[in-house]
Structure 1
Amino acid sequence: MPPTDASANAGTAPVTDAGTAASPGARESRTAPATVASADSADSADSADSADSADSADSEDTLDMPLTDELVALIAEDAGAEGERDQGSGTAAASASPAVGATAVASDLSIADDLLDHVADWGPIGTPVGVLHLVPVRIERDLPIIGRWMNDPAVAAFWGLAGPENATEEHLRSHLASDGRSVPCLGLLEGTPMSYWEIYRADLDPLARHYPARPHDTGVHLLIGAVGDRGRGLGGILLRAVADLALDKRPACARIIAEPDIRNTPSVAAFLDAGFRFSAEIELPAKRAALMVRDRSLRQLL
């Protein structure tokens, strides 16, 4: 998946991701045992950003895990059950998403092609600081600015993508060439690029080995790019907005997951401000992470 997180509200470190591995760069070892120091045993089923450790030879990330026929069938079965429940209760959300409902589930294409319910079509969302729009990354257009952000020392400390531009390019291409389980996006605030996001299927990520994953768990990684945008509370505001957007656009998803580095207190604070709860500390190959969870069931209380 992605690298380590950068901090959202950090004056010194950009915001990390909200949901899948403590840092986008950390990759999980195939053999390392999962250690969970749970602060919330029943809830330690959530996770955060995972960091892709560049120096871990025996590792794999989300994109290294092919979807088996059995897993595709399981996803279809779960989506079908969600669709029937939503249609039976008359919820508008079920009819709004092409990935939910008997018709969509009947097609293998809707499952393989639409693992994240068309992030590109999620559209803009209003926030207290302006309109935010997640736009899927295009290498030729976005590599220069994302590469520049990755070379900020405060960001590099968590994402591990500093250096020549081709390091960032390789990372982006690995996500863009995947089967759709991870979508890298540029965050435009009032039309200005100011953040980098990765929206991914946490339940299909190696991160799922470290917590009791549920079907359709959605992970988020966030990096606040410009130094001037850090330390102003933007991380918590934007994370809340994107978590709400993901829950609106993904009816089958019950939780948004994130795993910032436990040492990155500004990032952890941003997730808490965004309505995430601390579930557990988890040991990942490249870091010790705070497993942060945003529950759909508690959304109206936050």
Structure 2
Amino acid sequence: MTEYTVGGFGTVRLRPLDPERDADVVHSWVGEERAAFWGMTGLTRAQVAEVYAHMATLDTHHAHLAEKDGTPVALLQTYEPAADRVSECYDVRPGDIGIHVLLAPAGPEGPRSGWTDSLLSAFTEFALRTLDRDRVVVDPDVRNAKAIARFTRQGFTRGPAVLLPEIDLPDVQLPEKHAQLAFLTRAVAFPDADPR
């Protein structure tokens, strides 16, 4: 488990996702219409657990559950772009890492100001500093204006809009996806840090 303190927000804990133990909460998130871009809205709880059990066998793709005050608040997936379909759409550099982010739905109190930006700050810290990477790549669906705006606010620079190819393998099936690439370098994320 890794912890990050975000000023004015609190402590964010990241731990490896347990495919079986965390299946209920993840299934409840991905089944909502707001998570349509995640691509798992029609899956059963067992299928969601299966997807993440398969991911846990990979060296290149990892799922993490983010918690605040012991409550699950987001799913963070990290991946090696060279081992992902995104590599067919841009020139992967050494030191790149890809992330996918799915936020929990707002609670009964409704949307909270600064919540998303605080979580993205912790995820950026994790990807660039804890995992010691030089650049983060994201690939939200081009229709997901909210996600694109969130990443832009966080300092990501838009790259090209691309078509991620369909994947149809025995263990992984992904439809093609029109995605907006965006990138965040360590120098932009942490401008006051000592250069490596």
Alpha-carbon contact 2:19-2:50 (below 8 Å) kept: no
Corresponding residue of 1:147: 27
Unaligned segments of structure 2, at least 5 residues:
166-175
Residue 208 of structure 1: aligned partner: 87
Q: Which moved more, 1:181-190 or 1:281-290?
A: 281-290
Q: In structure 1, list runs of 5 or more residues that go unmatched.
A: 1-119
Q: 2:147 aligns with which of 261, 267, 272?
A: 267
- Normalising by structure 1, what TM-score? 0.55
Distance (Å, rounded) in 2 between the aligned partners of 1:224 and 1:175: 19
Q: What do the CA deviations read for 1:158-209 (whole angstroms, capped 9, x no partner)?
A: 122123112211210111111x211111110122111111011122212111
Contact 2:67 2:73 in 1 (8 A): yes
- Residue 289 of structure 1: aligned partner: 179
| AA aligned opposite 2:177 | K
Moved over 2 A (4+): 226-237, 297-302
**Residues 240 and 275 of structure 1 are in contact (CA less than 8 Å); yes or no, is this contact kept in structure 2?**
no
How far does residue 233 in structure 1 lie from its aligned partner after superposition?
Answer: 4.0
User: Do the aligned residues in 2 keep the contact of 1:203 with 1:216 (CA within 8 Å)?
Assistant: no
TM-score by length of 2: 0.82
- Check whether the contact 2:117–2:150 (CA below 8 A) recurs between aligned residues: yes
Matched position secondary structure for 2:147: helix
Residue 119 of structure 2: which of 238, 250, 255 is its match?
Answer: 238
Shift of residue 246, structure 1, vs aligned partner: 1.9
Residue 137 of structure 1, CA deviation: 1.0
- The count of aligned residue pairs is 178
Deviation digits for residues 87-138 of structure 1, max 9, x if unmatched?
xxxxxxxxxxxxxxxxxxxxxxxxxxxxxxxxx5xx1001132211111011
Letter in 2 for 1:264: N
Which entry has the higher C-alpha Rg, 1 or 2? 1
**Over residues 215-271 of structure 1, what are the superposed CA-to-partner deviations in whole Å (9 max), with x where a residue is unaligned?**
2311111111123365744223211221122211233x2101101111111111110
* Preserved CA contact (<8 Å) 2:155 2:188: no
RMSD: 1.9
